[in-house]
Amino acid sequence: MNRQHLDDRRRHERTLELAATAVDFELTSAETGELEAQLAACPTCARRAAALRADASTLRLPLTLLPSPRVDDAVYAAIARQPARPQRLLLLVGAALLLLVALLGALAAGAYLLRSWETLPTTVVPLPTAPVAVVSPNANAPGVMIWNMSAANRIEVSTYRPAARNGLSGLFGVDTWPDPDRLAGTVINRQLLASPTGKLVAIAETDPRARTRIRVLTSKGAVVWSTESTNGVPALAWSADGSLLAVAFTPQPWFVVNFQADGSPNLSKYSPPTDVPLKLVGFSADGLRLLAYDGTGEAAPWESPYAIDLAGGTVARLDQFAGGPSGIAVSNTTTLSGLVDPVTGRVLDSGDLSGRQTNWSLRQGSMSTELGVPVSNAKASIQPRWADDGSIVVLETSLDNDPPSLNQKDPTLGLIRQPAAGAEPGEIVKVTWSYMGPYGTRCKGVLLDVRHGWALVGLSGIPSSDDAWLGYDTLSLVNLGAQSRSGLMNLDGLGKRDIHVAGLFQ
C-alpha cells in the first residue's frame, strides 16, 4: 500500500473517530473544523458520520417490554416485609421447627415423587427418614474453607471440619484492597481458593481497572508467593495433590506455581496462543497437563478442547476431553470444571425445561447422548455438577406458581447415576432426592462443589447472581453416599454472615 493510500486511510479513521466522539461530547473548535472539512470533502466519511448518528438514535428508541410477574412478586414481597436476621436464641427454636417440618416434608415429598414419576423408567429411592438437622460429625467428611469480610479492608479465613471438636476454626486475617464504591457496586473482584489439602490458599484480587494481585498463603497466614499484573481477572485451579497452582489470564500469561514440600515456590510460565484465547478448565488428574477450551465462542467447549503439556510447554488441540488420568482432576478451581465428567470426559450441556422434565445433552466431540431429568414442577431451576464417580448431582430450586405463592419451593438435592453400559439413552437409573428443609423465604441455592461423596450447597436469603457481592447465609454439606439416608450438616450456626467458600479440603 503506497503512502497516499495510507494517508487516506488514516484520515478516514480519524474522521470516524471525531464523528463518533461528537455524538456524546463537544469537540474543540480545531476538531470541529477538521471534522467539517473532511465531511465536506469525502462523501464516504459523510455517509458514515450520518450512520453513526443514526446508530445512536436507534439505540435511544425505547423497548416496550416488561419483566415477568415473578420479578414483580419478588420485589413487592421484599418491599412488604423486613428481612429479619434471627438471633442465636431464635436459631435454636427455628432448628427445632425445621426438624419437624423437614420430617413432614420428607414424607410428603416422597409421596409426591411416587405419584408424579410412576410412568417414567425410573427407580426412585424413598426419601430418607433421617433428621436433617446437624448430624454426628463424620470423620470422612471434607473440611470447608470459608471467608468473609471482617472490615472494609480485611478478610477472615476460617475452616469448618465436621470431625473436629469445635467445628469452626479461625485461621487468619489478611488485608485486602477496599472496594472503591461499594454502594454503587464498584467493588474488588475477590477469589479465594483453598488447595485440596487445606495447607495453602490462593487469594486473587482485581480492581475495576484490571490491576490484579495474587498471593498464596499458608494456613497460618504467611505469604509464600505473590505477584501483581494488569491482566484482569484470572482463572485459578489447584492440582489434585495440592502442590500445583495454575493462574490463567485470558489470553496470556499462564503460570503454574509448584509449591514444593518445604513450601517454597517454583514458577513456570506459559504463553498460550493469542489468536485462540483459551479458557482454563483445570489440571489433568495426573497433574501433567492443563486442560482448556477455545474461549472465542466460535465452537462449543466440548468441540474445542485443548491441553497444555506442562513439561514441554506444547499446546495440543484434542478431539475431545478424556476421562481417567488424562481427564479433569477433581479439585478446587474457579472454572467450569464441574461440568466435565472426570470419568469419561463428557461435557454436560444443560438444556430447556419441557413440562416437568429438563433435557440435557452429554456431549463429547461430535457425539451427544440425550438425558431427560424429571423435575418437581415446570418452573424449576436445576443446577447439575459431575461427581468424581461419574454420577450427576443436581440442586433444584423451584417456584410454586400453582396457585400463585410468594414462597419458593425449598432447594432439594438429587443424584443421578449414569445409565449402565448398553442401557437406553435417557433412562434414569436411580434418583435420590434429599430434602433440604424449608428455608422460609425466597432463597438462592448454589451447588458449590461435589467431592468424594459429599455435596456442598450455599444458600442465600436474598438472591444474588454474584456471590462475591453478598455471599451465603447457610452452607450445607450433604452426604450422598448412602442410598437410604443422607446426612446434612447446616453450617448456619457459625455466627458469620455473607460467607464465601474457598473450597473443600481433605
Which residues form the interface with another protein (CB under 8 A)? Answer: 16-17, 20-21, 23-25, 48, 51-52, 55-56, 58-68, 70-83, 180-181, 183-187, 189, 208-209, 232-233, 279, 297, 300-301, 336, 339, 349-350, 403-407, 462-466, 468-469
Measured from the CB atom, the residue of 73 and 309 that comes closer to another protein is: 73
What torsion, rounded to 10 degrees, do the Cα atoms 351, 354, 357, 359 define?
-30
Report the distance separating Cα 347 and Cα 148, nearest Å: 32
User: What is each CA distance from 267 to 198, 246, 254, 482, in whole angstroms?
Assistant: 21, 10, 10, 42
DSSP result, 198-232: SSEEEEEEE-TT--EEEEEEETTS-EEEEEEESS-
Q: How far is the CB of 71 from another protein (least distance, A)?
A: 5
Residue closer to another protein (CB basis): 68 or 366: 68
Smaller CB separation from another protein, 36 or 241: 36
Least Å distance, CB 469 to another protein, is: 8
- List C-alpha distances in Å: 308 to 168, 259, 278: 39, 19, 10
As a whole number of angstroms, the distance between CA 174 and CA 342 comes to 34
Kindly state the cell numbers that stand for 199: 495447607
The CB-of-232 to another protein minimum distance in angstroms stands at 8
Can you give the C-alpha Rg of the chain in angstroms? 26
Minimum Å gap between C-beta 205 and another protein is: 14
Closest CA relative to residue 134, chosen from 162, 100, 165, 168:
162
Ramachandran bin of 345, using left for φ above 0, alpha for ψ from -120 to 50, beta for the remaining angles = left
Question: Do 102 and 439 contact (CB within 8 A), yes or no?
Answer: no
Least Å distance, CB 403 to another protein, is 6
For the bound state, the minimum distance from the C-beta of residue 341 to another protein, rounded and expressed in Å, comes to 15
In whole angstroms, the minimum distance from the beta carbon of 124 to another protein comes to 28
CB nearer to another protein: pick between 397 and 486: 397
Q: How far is the CB of 9 from another protein (least distance, A)?
A: 13
* DSSP-based three-state secondary structure for 484: coil
Residue 240 or 247: the one with the smaller Cβ distance to another protein is: 247
Q: Exposed, middle or buried, 498 (CB in 10 Å: 0-12/13-18/19+)?
A: middle
Cβ closest to another protein, residue 187 vs residue 236: 187
Q: Report the nearest approach of another protein to the CB of residue 66 (Å).
A: 6
How many angstroms separate the CA atoms of 36 and 32, rounded? Answer: 6
Nearer to another protein, 30 or 420 (CB): 30
Cβ neighbourhood burial of 426 (10 Å; 0-12, 13-18, 19+)? middle
Q: How far is the CB of 334 from another protein (least distance, A)?
A: 9
> Which is nearer to another protein, 22 or 103 (by Cβ)?
22
Exposed / middle / buried, residue 166 (Cβ in 10 Å: 0-12, 13-18, 19+): exposed
Whichever of 50 and 163 has its CB closer to another protein, that residue is 50
C-alpha torsion angle, residues 85, 96, 477, 129 (rounded to 10): -150
Q: Which residue has 428508541 as its cell numbers?
A: 61
| Of 60 and 165, CB closest to another protein | 60
Number of H helices, E strands in the chain: 5, 27
Cβ closer to another protein: 161 or 363?
Answer: 363
Work out how close the CB of 466 gets to another protein at its nearest, in angstroms, rounded to a whole number.
Answer: 5
Q: Write down the least CB distance from residue 270 to another protein, Å.
A: 21
**CA separation for the pair 9, 126 (Å, rounded):** 72
3-state secondary structure of 99: helix
Using the minimum distance from each CB to another protein, give the nearer residue, 51 or 114.
51
How far apart CA 308 and CA 266 sit, in angstroms, is 18
